[in-house]
Each structure stands twice: as structure tokens, then as C-alpha cells.
């Protein structure tokens, strides 16, 4: 077997005929500034070609179900091994997907309960909330159910006679409302908020044999009292929704709230499954435990039959703990995990697998990880390698780079200024080299000594979201504040409380930009409108012609630049449109030029080139915002769907700059940034503060922490062991603090 994966003449995206040998069975880290071409080599060339060749080995009826890949632009790609990409894309998934189901640990626990629990509910599916034999019948295993929103239905400050029941069909004065105002068991003049528990229970559920006198057009009669809750459920919840009028449905919906399922109390399982115990705990109790605690519980099982099963679960759970996710619980829905947490969980799954001879590809696995946990992540990567796999990692973190057997540094710049391999060798050789990465690795930053003075303060008071323990903390305004702490310590939870409490907060996150597939930086920044007007003014044609969503678009590909042909029984073929050659516009439109450039030429310009080309002030201002966030290497026409999470966050930021008196909240804005780019980002944050704004960042990057004016450190650890403010003060004060992991690592980092 050849010892190298070989790329010859790779030209995907900005790559300039890259020729490269990557050692097999080794850990190779790809470095370089953002936009230099790392992803183009690793994802767009190696991973795509590996997958494409693999797909070709399947029969057509399987191939038809697989995603389609075009052959990457390269002269040759040789000796690839099957690639597995472990990326940051949110794990997402429906609400039936939990940490337990995703990692398969829950299925092991199910077997444990069915064989060893008492009384046993049957085979292992009887403990599955995704199987009819195990799921709670009230909520179908979702753990949540919709029920009446009592806070909305009842006004606690009013009495029954005075309109306490706000749900119109049961309100005072209506026919049904008489049940409550006339009941001899209820005081009609007492505010319902002051009812005793027994009175409230009677209002909602009544009591067998209780009567009430009501009157209607047919006279007056005595009838059985029906509790408010019983009546609401009978008339609106236990009925087929489609049998109600739209108006009724809309009305009822206003008075509903989603809450924990009352039947299973969120445990998702039916009574039989929940009755089974091991050591006094039900399977739901186990799923709710923090993983570190569950490990302790399972270790105590020493029965000869159950012991080995528990041992298998412990082994899997220890892998989760080893990558710093021990603060999660098995019942945590995967849709609520951050991108970094999801990526690390996917890694765990692969670690348990016995495949060897694969190529594992990771996209910045250190995202969301505190420096304390980067070492553990490194161990995992090395274990994957030692099982006989090739591990390729795109990474900026110096601690991960240091672990590599081999480093490929891309550059020298971004976009058209990048696309070449500027260095290959060991991390030691890289650190001694004259590349930008090498120089950055040698530098030792200093903490900010002259911190800015706060102009005021904003508070979060008594915060209890997730693991926060009644946190009250001050955020100074008019300065740059870094919120730090190990993963799971409560940073996002605290920042969520902060944004919820302060309306003026401008949150710039990494979530996708929910716009059409044809969006580009030019349309997103609002530059395209002006460009069209300039073309119309200079050429005398109609502005609408210069839009690829309009009549000016190439009719063959409808402005997409590509054509996808569906063939029966074969892969659809995606080809560049032969008519416009991928340029998206009609020939007549392409002939209309401004200073020698057509609108398609403009879309192929990088933002940097466009800045030189356009004199228009509005265009200039918007493109300079892109420069401020370090994205001028993007072309005006690059589909936004191709941007990374970090790039998305920064392009959003570009459209929200130039405010004053705003409060910016950013979650790990250094994601995807090379050490050299981080300096630019810190400069941008500084400018935001200096023009009268407040900036709050959740960050692990020690460069940013060192340059902050104020640090709020959460901890001491993650999950149950976190949720407290362990330090607040300046970076200089943090350096002199004990009992903070962040302080420990900052001391190691700065000079």
C-alpha cells in the first residue's frame, strides 16, 4: 500500500495547481489564514473525490440515493482512502434524537434494564421511547405535550365574578361561565390568585357529586359541576382538531402552552417501562443524570450478567467524558447542542468504531473548547490515528497544531492571494519558519494593561437558566467584555439571559442566513441594487436586466450558471451551462459593459477588486465593512450557502456595523480565523467600542481574552459543577487569580 495520498494540479476554487503528498496513517494539520484554501484542499478536493469514487462502486439503485458529487478540478488524485467528514454542521434532528440515541449508549442501557431491572417490562424495545411498546401513550414518546396555559386562562388578580376566566367561551356572563360564578363551593368575589390549593383544585377538577344551578332560555336547572380543566380538555384537547372551525382552533391555540407531559413527566416512557428499577433508579432517572454521575452509578453494578453490559456503557460514556462532554446527560436533545458539541459527539461515535484505513477529516475541532480541554481532544485524534487511520484536521489552535505529525500551511494570503502550499513539515519546523503562521506561533501576546473605563452598567440578576446558580453579575458598558469558562460552564446560558434582559442587544451569531439559494455577498450587502443602477445609467439599458433573477438572466440555466440533468436510472449530471458558460446572463446583457466590465465580470470580482473598481460612495462604504470583518477575499457572486459558520457570522456583522450606543453580543467570533486574522478581529471590536458601543463576546481564544477590558469567568467546571461566576475583573487581575482554569491557561499563554 502506498504511504501517501497524492494530489496533482488541484485547482478547486482558489487553488493554484496544488501538488501535495499527505502521509497516510498520520495526523496532518492544515493551517493558513481564512480563505487561503484549506477547505478547498481537504473538503472540496480530497473528501469529494473519495466519496465520488466510493459511490461509483455501488450499483446504480444505491447510487441513486446517494448525494451527487462532481469530479473535483485536479489533474490527478491518487491512493485515497475512504473519507469520513466530521464537521460542525448542527446535529439538529427531530426531538426524538438525544445524546443517548445518537451515541447508541441509550440502546445499551435499554438492554441493561430489560435483562437486569426489576420488574422487567420485556425485551429491550420496551424501554425505547421511539417504539410503540415503550413510548408514553400520552405524548407518543416526545416527553412534552400541549396543555392549557393557566397563566393565560386565569387572571390571578380578579375574582370569578369580576372576569378572572379570560378564555371567552368560559368567561363570566356566558352560559358555561355560570358553572364557576354560581358554584356554592367557590367564593365568586375572591381573587383566584388568593385561592387555597384545595379551592384551586376544585375550580379546575371539581369533586364527584358536586352540583351547580345554571339558567338559560329554557329556564333554571341544577346540573353536575364540571371543573374548568376537565371541561377545557373535553371540549378542546380530547377532540379531533379538524372537527373544529378555524376560528375556534385559532382561539384555543392562544390559550395553549407546550409543557412537560403530565403523564410521564417528561420521561417519554410508559408506566411499565418507568416502573423498572436498577438500584432504585428508573431508566429515565439514569438518562437525566449528568454523564459523569451515570458512570459512577453504572460502575456499581457487579452482577455477573449485567456487569459486562454496564461495562460496555461505561466505556462509551468515558469516551464522551474524555472529550469534555461529561456535563451532558443522555436525555439532552441533540437539536439543542452547539456545533462544537455536536462535532465532538460525532467524533465519539467514530472512536468506538472498529474501522481502520479510513481518512477522517475534521473542521476546526477545537471550536467551543476551553484550552483546558484541547489536550483531551488531541488525545482522541491521536487514538483515531493509532487505530490505523489518516487524520486530516483544519485548525488554528496552536495546541492542536503542535500535536501534528505533519503540517501543510496554505497561503500566503486569502482568495486569489492564496491557494498555494507555502510550507510542509513538522510543527517545530513550522514554528521556526518565516511563514505568517510560523511568525504567529512564535509571538507571545501581552494582556491589555490600560483598560477602558466603563460608561455605565447592565445587570443580569438572579439568572437560573440551565445550570446557572442564581447568578447576578454586572456587565460594564462602553467596553469589551469577554465571557469565558470551560465548555458547559454556562457561558451561552448567561449570555442568553443577558440578551433577553436588554432589548438593545444586537446578537451576531453563526446561524445560517435564511435567504434564497441565489444570495451572494452583493445581494446580501445591498450592493447589487446600486451596481444595477450604475450599469443602467452608463449603458442606457433597464436596471432590471442586470439581475440574475430577471429577464436578463440566461434562459437556459435561469441565472444559475449550472444545469442539472436528471437521467433515468443514472446519476443526474451537473454541468456548467453551455449557453452562458456559467456567467448567468444573456449574451446581450454581457455585451453591456461599464469601463470594459460586464455585470458577470463584476460578480467574479473579489470585494477588494470591486472596491478599486467602483467610485460610488454607497458601494464603497458597504464593501469597506466587508474589509473591516476580513472578508474582502470573497467574490461578489459567491453563493452565501458556501460560507463557513465563522464567515457567516462576520458577513452579518458587516451589515450591522457603524452604530453607536449599541450592545453587540458575539459567540466565538474567532471561529475559522487564523491567528493573524484574530488581530484584525480584535482591532474591529476595539473600533466598535471606541465609537461608543458595548461589546460582549463568548470566547476561548486567549488573544481575545488578553485584549479585553473586562472578563467574566464562569465555572469552576461544566454542567452541575459550573454555573457560578468564579472571576470578574480585568485581564491583569485574572492573571493573578487562583481557582480559574482560564487564568491558568492565560498565564501559560502571555509573556
- Chain residues binding Zn ion by CB under 5 A are 136, 138-139, 261, 263-264, 554, 556-557, 577, 579-580
**411 torsion bin: left (phi>0), alpha (psi -120 to 50), beta (else):** left
Q: Read off the C-alpha cell for 500.
A: 433577553
Is 636 near ligand ADP (CB under 6 A)? no
Q: How many residues bind ligand ADP (CB under 6 A)?
A: 31
CB of 646 to ligand ADP, least distance (A): 9
Interface stretch with ligand ADP, choices 450-458, 544-552, 633-641, 656-664 (CB under 6 A): 633-641
* Residue 40, contacted partner among ligand ADP, Zn ion, none, CB below 5-8 A by kind: ligand ADP
- Name the DSSP class of 115: H
Q: Read off the C-alpha cell for 201.
A: 383544585
Q: Read off the C-alpha cell for 329.
A: 446527560
- Residues 708-727 close enough to bind ligand ADP by CB under 6 A: 719
Residue 609 CA to residue 611 CA, distance in Å, equals: 5
CB of 470 to ligand ADP, least distance (A): 14
Residue from 8, 55, 64, 336 that binds ligand ADP (CB under 6 A)?
Answer: 336
Instruction: Give residue for cell 460542525.
Output: 88
Is 90 near ligand ADP (CB under 6 A)? no
* Residue 466, contacted partner among ligand ADP, Zn ion, none, CB below 5-8 A by kind: ligand ADP
Residue from 420, 492, 609, 701 that binds ligand ADP (CB under 6 A)?
Answer: 492
Residues 256 and 241: beta-carbon distance below 8 Å = no
Interface stretch with ligand ADP, choices 217-225, 383-391, 485-493, 650-658 (CB under 6 A): 485-493
CB of 273 to Zn ion, least distance (A): 11
Q: Under DSSP, is residue 211 helix (H, G, I), strand (E, B) or coil? A: strand
* Residue 264, contacted partner among ligand ADP, Zn ion, none, CB below 5-8 A by kind: Zn ion
CB of 293 to ligand ADP, least distance (A): 12
Is 510 near ligand ADP (CB under 6 A)? no
CB of 728 to ligand ADP, least distance (A): 16
**CB neighbours (10 Å) of residue 565?**
10
Q: Where are the beta strands (DSSP E) in 500-540?
A: 505-508
CB of 418 to ligand ADP, least distance (A): 6
Angle 500-480-694 from CA coordinates, rounded to 5°: 50
Rounded to 10 degrees, what is the CA torsion of 398, 403, 408, 412? 10
Q: Read off the C-alpha cell for 29.
A: 494539520
* Residue 445, contacted partner among Zn ion, ligand ADP, none, CB below 5-8 A by kind: none
Q: Read off the C-alpha cell for 651.
A: 458577513
* Residue 539, contacted partner among ligand ADP, Zn ion, none, CB below 5-8 A by kind: none
Residue 429 CA to residue 631 CA, distance in Å, equals: 29
Is 385 near ligand ADP (CB under 6 A)? no
* Residue 557, contacted partner among Zn ion, ligand ADP, none, CB below 5-8 A by kind: Zn ion
Is 467 near ligand ADP (CB under 6 A)? yes
> Read out DSSP for 404-426?
-SEEEEEESSSGGG--EEEEEE-
> Read out DSSP for 27-69?
EEEEE-STTSSHHHHIIIIIIHHHHHHHHHTS-HHHHTTSPP-
Rounded to 10 degrees, what is the CA torsion of 93, 94, 98, 102? -40
Is 36 near ligand ADP (CB under 6 A)? yes
Is 35 near ligand ADP (CB under 6 A)? yes
Residues 411 and 378: beta-carbon distance below 8 Å = no
CB of 295 to ligand ADP, least distance (A): 16
- Measured from the CB atom, the residue of 14 and 530 that comes closer to ligand ADP is 14
Pairing of the two strands 211-216 and 18-23? unpaired
Is 69 near ligand ADP (CB under 6 A)? no
Residue from 633, 664, 710, 749 that binds ligand ADP (CB under 6 A)?
Answer: 633
CA 683, 702, 451, 649 dihedral sign is positive
The residues binding ligand ADP (CB under 6 A) are: 13-14, 32, 34-40, 327-328, 332, 336, 410, 415, 466-467, 485, 487-493, 633-634, 638, 642, 719
Amino acid at each position: 500500500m502506498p504511504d501517501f495520498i497524492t494530489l496533482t494540479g488541484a485547482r478547486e476554487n482558489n487553488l493554484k495547481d496544488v501538488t501535495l503528498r499527505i502521509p497516510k496513517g498520520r495526523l496532518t494539520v492544515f493551517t493558513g489564514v481564512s480563505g487561503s484554501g484549506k477547505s478547498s484542499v481537504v473538503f472540496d478536493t480530497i473528501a469529494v473525490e473519495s466519496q465520488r469514487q466510493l459511490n461509483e462502486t455501488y450499483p446504480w439503485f444505491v447510487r441513486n440515493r446517494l448525494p451527487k458529487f462532481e469530479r473535483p478540478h485536479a489533474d490527478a488524485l491518487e491512493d485515497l482512502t475512504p473519507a469520513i467528514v466530521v464537521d460542525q454542521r448542527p446535529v439538529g434532528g427531530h426531538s426524538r434524537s438525544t445524546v443517548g440515541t445518537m451515541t447508541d449508549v441509550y440502546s445499551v442501557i435499554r438492554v441493561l434494564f430489560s435483562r437486569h431491572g426489576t420488574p422487567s417490562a420485556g425485551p429491550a424495545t420496551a424501554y425505547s421511547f421511539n417504539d410503540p411498546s415503550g413510548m408514553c401513550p400520552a405524548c407518543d414518546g416526545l416527553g412534552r405535550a400541549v396543555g392549557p396555559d393557566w397563566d393565560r386562562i386565569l387572571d390571578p388578580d380578579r375574582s370569578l365574578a369580576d372576569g378572572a376566566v379570560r378564555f371567552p367561551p368560559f368567561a363570566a356572563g356566558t352560559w358555561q361561565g355560570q358553572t364557576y360564578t354560581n358554584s356554592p363551593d367557590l367564593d365568586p368575589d375572591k381573587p383566584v390568585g388568593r385561592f387555597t390549593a384545595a379551592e384551586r383544585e376544585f375550580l379546575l377538577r371539581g369533586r364527584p357529586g358536586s352540583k351547580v344551578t345554571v339558567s338559560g332560555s329554557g329556564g333554571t336547572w341544577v346540573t353536575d359541576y364540571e371543573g374548568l380543566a376537565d371541561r377545557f380538555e373535553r371540549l378542546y384537547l380530547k377532540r379531533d382538531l379538524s372537527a373544529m372551525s378555524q376560528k375556534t382552533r385559532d382561539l384555543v391555540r392562544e390559550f395553549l402552552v407546550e409543557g412537560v407531559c403530565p403523564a410521564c413527566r417528561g420521561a417519554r416512557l410508559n408506566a411499565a417501562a418507568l416502573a423498572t428499577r436498577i438500584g432504585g433508579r428508573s431508566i429515565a432517572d439514569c438518562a437525566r443524570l449528568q454523564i459523569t454521575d451515570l458512570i459512577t452509578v453504572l460502575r456499581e453494578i457487579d452482577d455477573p450478567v449485567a456487569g459486562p453490559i454496564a461495562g460496555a456503557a461505561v466505556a462509551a460514556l468515558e469516551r464522551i467524558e474524555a472529550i469534555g462532554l461529561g456535563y451532558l446527560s443522555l436525555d439532552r436533545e441533540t437539536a439543542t447542542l452547539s456545533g462544537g458539541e455536536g462535532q465532538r459527539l460525532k467524533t465519539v461515535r467514530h472512536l468506538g468504531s472498529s474501522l481502520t484505513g479510513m481518512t477522517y477529516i475534521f473542521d476546526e475541532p477545537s471550536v467551543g473548547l476551553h484550552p483546558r480541554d484541547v489536550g483531551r481532544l488531541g488525545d482522541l485524534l491521536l487514538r483515531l490515528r493509532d487505530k490505523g487511520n489518516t487524520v486530516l484536521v483544519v485548525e488554528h489552535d496552536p495546541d492542536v497544531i503542535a500535536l501534528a505529525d505533519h503540517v501543510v500551511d496554505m497561503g500566503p494570503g486569502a482568495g486569489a492571494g492564496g491557494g498555494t502550499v507555502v510550507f510542509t513539515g513538522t510543527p517545530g519546523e513550522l514554528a521556526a519558519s518565516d511563514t505568517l503562521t510560523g511568525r504567529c506561533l512564535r509571538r507571545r501576546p501581552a494582556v491589555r494593561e490600560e483598560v477602558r473605563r466603563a460608561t455605565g452598567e447592565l445587570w443580569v440578576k438572579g439568572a437560573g437558566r440551565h445550570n446557572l446558580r442564581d447568578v447576578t453579575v454586572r456587565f460594564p458598558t462602553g467596553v469589551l467584555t469577554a465571557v469565558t469558562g470551560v465548555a458547559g460552564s454556562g457561558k451561552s446560558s448567561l449570555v442568553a439571559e443577558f440578551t433577553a434582559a436588554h432589548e438593545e442587544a444586537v446578537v451576531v451569531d453563526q446561524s445560517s442566513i435564511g435567504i434564497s439559494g441565489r444570495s451572494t455577498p452583493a445581494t446580501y450587502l445591498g450592493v447589487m441594487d446600486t451596481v444595477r443602477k450604475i450599469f443602467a445609467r452608463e449603458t442606457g439599458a433597464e436596471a432590471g436586466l442586470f439581475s440574475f433573477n430577471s429577464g436578463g438572466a440566461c434562459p437556459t440555466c435561469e441565472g444559475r450558471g449550472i444545469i442539472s440533468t436528471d437521467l433515468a436510472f443514472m446519476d443526474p449530471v451537473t454541468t456548467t451551462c453551455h449557453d452562458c458558460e456559467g456567467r448567468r446572463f444573456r449574451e446581450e446583457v454581457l455585451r453591456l459593459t461599464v469601463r470594459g466590465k460586464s455585470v458577470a465580470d463584476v460578480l467574479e470580482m473579489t470585494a477588494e477588486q470591486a472596491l478599486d473598481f467602483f467610485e460610488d460612495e454607497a458601494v464603497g462604504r458597504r464593501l469597506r465593512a466587508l474589509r473591516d470583518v476580513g472578508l474582502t477575499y470573497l467574490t461578489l457572486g459567491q453563493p452565501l450557502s458556501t460560507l463557513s459558520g465563522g464567515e457567516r457570522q462576520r458577513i452579518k456583522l458587516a451589515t450591522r456595523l457603524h452604530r453607536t450606543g449599541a450592545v453587540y453580543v458575539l459567540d466565538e467570533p474567532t471561529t475559522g480565523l487564523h491567528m493573524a486574522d484574530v488581530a484584525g478581529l480584535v482591532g474591529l471590536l476595539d473600533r466598535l467600542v471606541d465609537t461608543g458601543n458595548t461589546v460582549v463576546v463568548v470566547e476561548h481564544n486567549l488573544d481575545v481574552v488578553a485584549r479585553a477590558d473586562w472578563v467574566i469567568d464562569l465555572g469552576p467546571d461544566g454542567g452541575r459543577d459550573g454555573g457560578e461566576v468564579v472571576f470578574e475583573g480585568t485581564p491583569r487581575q485574572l492573571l493573578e487569580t487562583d481557582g480559574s482554569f482560564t487564568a491558568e491557561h492565560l498565564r501559560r499563554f502571555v509573556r
